[in-house]
């Protein structure tokens, strides 16, 4: 059977999956800014990478899955002031809520969650390196990355400098160029913190993630993931920072991005009034049902959240689970265990083809239908084992107690 192929945003094509170190995968996925509860858009992204990690582990890879928790941000400080709380207290409250929601969603493959506030010294060191090697400059206590020193800026988003310049993301008269971005800002987001060679201030957004990833995964690793909207400026800036610090290319071998989840035709946001929090959804919907629904759309495609469609997939999941339980009840102690690789060949083909979870779910459904038709105890056992393997990879329980 052909190996895994994955769509790489950097090359804009599917590529054979080959890790830097044999049988080991280092993966970093951008986590949430803990200013509030996570919504179903976050859930879709994190569930996909959980399935990716589950499948790589199933294929014998040792997966080191790292996710950051952004607990330094202007929005956190603004929300804290509105509530009359300290930023670090509000961030800790929502960080704990996020971790609880991840457990409820059965996202169990993350090796480590790292709060960026624990890596400020590493950020300062990286910024100092960029200043000393001429990739950054200091202006009145602020430090900016000089995009003109990095010829590859724009390679991930596949945009020219002229195209990027009509998409300004940081407006400041201190910058030499509209493409330059902040590494350190003379802005106090948390009272009493942080001291740096350029004065008291706060780290920029992009340097936060690279401090976490470089410290834990090293200068080069296999997979960097996140939502499609992070490609520019966030991931583009990460590449510029790291490759300018280390001098090594590529920083990441595979850039894998999930599509946007919309609701009522727009990106989920409080201002649009179309946010569906995970915590609220899980009061009326099981984690298995929600995973089944969100995995029914290919991860690279945009998806419209639809409560009616969710109800439809809840019913489909219920029927599939009922069929699987029927197979389980018909198992015989006399049955011999069989090799499930042939039964699961099409399931594996779907996931090998850029993690095609919609097709994998259809095959799982078909396996359940075929399993019910079996009368030979050995065949019944074969389908039972096959369903157990496939459902564990997708994190959608067919046996035991549903979540």
pLDDT tens readout for residues 20-49: 999 999 999 999 999 999 999 999 999 999
Q: Would you list the domain boundaries of the chain?
A: 5-267, 307-394
Q: Are β-strands 112-115 and 62-69 bridged in parallel, bridged antiparallel, or unpaired?
A: parallel
CA dist., res. 297 & res. 19, Å (int): 27
Q: Which of 112, 43, 68, 44 is nearest to 279 (CA)?
A: 43
For 31, phi then psi, to 5°, come to -90, -170
| Confidence at 341, pLDDT banded by 50, 70, 90 | confident
Predicted confidence (pLDDT) per residue in 101-138, tens digit: 999 999 999 999 999 999 999 999 999 999 999 999 99
Q: What CATH class has 5-267?
A: alpha beta
* DSSP code for 301: S
Yes or no: say if 354 and 5 are a contact pair by the CB < 8 Å rule: yes
- Full-model pTM: 0.95
* DSSP code for 116: G
* DSSP code for 134: T
Could you tell me where the DSSP H helices lie in 59-140? 74-83, 87-104, 120-132
Which residue spans within 252-291 are E strands per DSSP?
252-258, 261-263, 266-267
Predicted confidence (pLDDT) per residue in 47-90, tens digit: 999 999 999 999 999 999 999 999 999 999 999 999 999 999 99
Q: How many Å separate Cα 296 from the centre of its chain?
A: 17
For the domain covering 307-394, report its CATH number. 1.20.120.640
């Amino acid at each position: 059977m052909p190996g895994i192929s994955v769509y790489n945003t950097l090359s804009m094509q599917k590529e054979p999956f080959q890790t830097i170190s044999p049988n080991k995968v280092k993966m970093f996925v951008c986590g949430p800014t803990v200013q509030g509860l996570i919504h179903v858009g976050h859930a879709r992204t994190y569930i996909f990478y959980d399935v990716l990690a589950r499948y790589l582990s199933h294929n014998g890879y040792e997966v080191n899955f790292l996710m950051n928790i952004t607990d330094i941000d202007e929005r956190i400080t603004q929300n804290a002031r509105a509530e009359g709380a300290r930023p670090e207290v509000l961030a800790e409250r929502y960080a704990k809520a996020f971790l609880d929601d991840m457990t409820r969603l059965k996202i169990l493959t993350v090796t480590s969650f790292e709060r960026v506030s624990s890596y400020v010294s590493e950020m300062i060191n990286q910024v100092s390196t960029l200043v000393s090697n001429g990739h950054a400059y200091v202006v009145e206590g602020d430090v900016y990355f000089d995009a003109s020193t990095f010829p590859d800026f724009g390679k991930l988003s596949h945009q020219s400098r002229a195209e990027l310049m009509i998409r300004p993301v940081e407006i400041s008269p201190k910058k030499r160029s509209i493409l330059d971005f902040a590494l350190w800002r003379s802005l106090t987001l948390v009272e009493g913190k942080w001291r740096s060679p350029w004065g008291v201030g706060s780290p920029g957004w992009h340097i936060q993630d690279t401090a976490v990833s470089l410290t834990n995964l090293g200068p080069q690793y296999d997979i960097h993931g996140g939502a499609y909207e992070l490609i520019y400026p966030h991931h583009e800036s990460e590449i510029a920072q790291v490759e300018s610090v280390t001098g090594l290319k590529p920083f990441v071998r595979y850039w894998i991005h999930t599509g946007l989840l919309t609701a009522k035709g727009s990106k989920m946001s409080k201002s649009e009034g179309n946010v569906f929090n995970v915590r609220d959804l899980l009061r009326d919907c099981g984690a298995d049902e929600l995973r089944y629904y969100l995995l029914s759309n290919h991860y690279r495609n945009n998806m419209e959240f639809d409560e009616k469609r969710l109800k439809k997939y809840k019913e489909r999941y219920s029927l599939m689970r009922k069929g699987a339980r029927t197979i389980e009840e018909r198992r015989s102690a006399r049955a011999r265990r069989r090799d499930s690789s042939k039964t699961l060949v099409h399931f594996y083909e779907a996931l090998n083809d850029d993690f095609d979870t919609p097709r994998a779910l259809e095959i799982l459904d078909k396996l359940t239908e075929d399993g019910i038709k079996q009368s030979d105890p050995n065949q019944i056992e074969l389908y039972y084992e096959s369903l157990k393997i496939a459902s564990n990879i997708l994190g959608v329980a067919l046996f035991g107690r549903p979540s």
